[in-house]
Amino acid sequence: MGDFASRKSSNSRLPPEVNRILYVRNLPFTITAEELYTIFGKYGAVYQIRLGDKHKDTKGTAFVVYEDIYDAKAAVDHLSGFNVGGRYLVVLYYQPAKFQRRAEAEEKQKELDELRRRVASNKAKLAKSGK
C-alpha cells in the first residue's frame, strides 16, 4: 500500500493523454499475444491484449490494456523505441477521438474515390456514345 501511495503522489499530475490503453505499432508480423504479454507484463498487470489481425490496416499493431494507469505510463516510457525482432516499437496512448477522426477521414476518402470512379465511368460511356 505504501508503495502505491508514494507512486501516486509522485505522479499526481499525469499528462491528459495518459491512459490505461496503449496502441502499439511496428510490431513484427509474426509476434504472438503471449510474447506481447511477456514484454508488456514486465511493467504491471496486463488486463487484455488485442493483436491486429491479417488485414492490411491492423497487421503489426496491438492494443495493450493495463489494469493500472501508472503501469501503462511506465510501459510507454520504457518500451517506445524498444527493439523487437529487428523492429522498433511505437507505443502510444490510445486516443479515441484521434482514432475516430482517422476512421471518418478514411470513410470520406472512400466515398470520394467511389464518386470519382463513377464520374470517370460516366465520362467514358459518354465518350463512347459520341455525345
Secondary structure (DSSP) of 31-70 = --HHHHHHHHGGGS-EEEEEE--SSTTTTT-EEEEESSHH
Give the pLDDT confidence score for residue 131 in this predicted structure. 59
pLDDT in tens, 62-120: 999 999 999 999 999 999 999 999 999 999 999 877 666 766 777 777 788 788 888 77
Beta bridge partners of 50: 63
